[in-house]
Amino acid sequence: MLPLRLCINVDHVATVRQARQTDEPDPVAAALACEAAGADGITAHLREDRRHMQDADIEQLAVRCRTPFNLEMACTEEMLLIAERLRPAQVTLVPEKRAEVTTEGGLDVTKASDMLQPAIARLSAAGIRTALFVDPVPMIIERSAWLGAQAIELHTGTYAHHPHDQRPLAALRTGARQAVALGLKVHAGHGLTVRNVAPVAAIPEIEELNIGHTIVSMAMFTGIAQAVREMRRVMDAARR
């Protein structure tokens, strides 16, 4: 089975800092602590409204992370210019709405394809791997491959919010298989916790999980290093 990377999204360390518009807690220090605890990568979302991550955070993460840095962003000219300048290892393109509390669904790859295709080409030319955050829907996955993305990140939100419904998990399994058959790498994330991660971690085609909110939540009680190690332990047990 492919190794499964645990990439920690440190956005909500910045959420706590921004609540007081001060300089603590520092998301860059959190990222370095996650790496020291065994994280395989760091993820951060620079939103248009800068509600958590600030430009200076992203600049620091791009330089100081020792593991691959995954910049989550909307497909806009402003963000593309930032990515081309900072050259993170990976960009994950996500839909973004100002009023949402968090990313609410996958990209509408059909509607947005006029923008996505040249954006993916630009990022590739800058040496950046591009993943598209998408719902596990066959037509959307097919379109993602057609657009030239190297990877998709399957949106696990529906699965996470409907723990007793088998259909969202079945859709993730089928979607992962379809994506690999189309030559895409498969990532997954959103709403994953130590309580629900195991069935997703057990999907053999998935190579990377992006997990944020629950790590910061657990960190309040155990510290961030222990939170990363606990997530890693549950993922590894599911992968065996």
Binding site for ligand PXP (CB under 6 A): 9, 11, 45, 72, 92, 94, 102-103, 133, 153, 189-192, 210-214
- Say which residues have a Cβ less than 8 Å from residue 189's Cβ, sequence separation at least 6: 9, 153, 154, 155, 156, 209, 210, 211, 212
45 versus 173: smaller Cβ distance to ligand PXP = 45
- Catalytic choice (35, 52, 72, 208): 72
- 76 alpha carbon, distance to own chain's centre: 18
Ordered DSSP codes for 125-141: HTT-EEEEEE-S-HHHH
Least Å from the CB of residue 64 to ligand PXP: 20
196: tokens are 């629900």
Least Å from the CB of residue 223 to ligand PXP: 18
126: tokens are 């800058």
143 versus 155: smaller Cβ distance to ligand PXP = 155
Q: How many CB atoms lie within 10 A of CB 55?
A: 11
- Catalytic choice (96, 190, 205, 207): 190
- 132 alpha carbon, distance to own chain's centre: 10
* 190 in active site: yes
Least Å from the CB of residue 176 to ligand PXP: 15
* 45 in active site: yes
Active-site residue set:
45, 72, 190
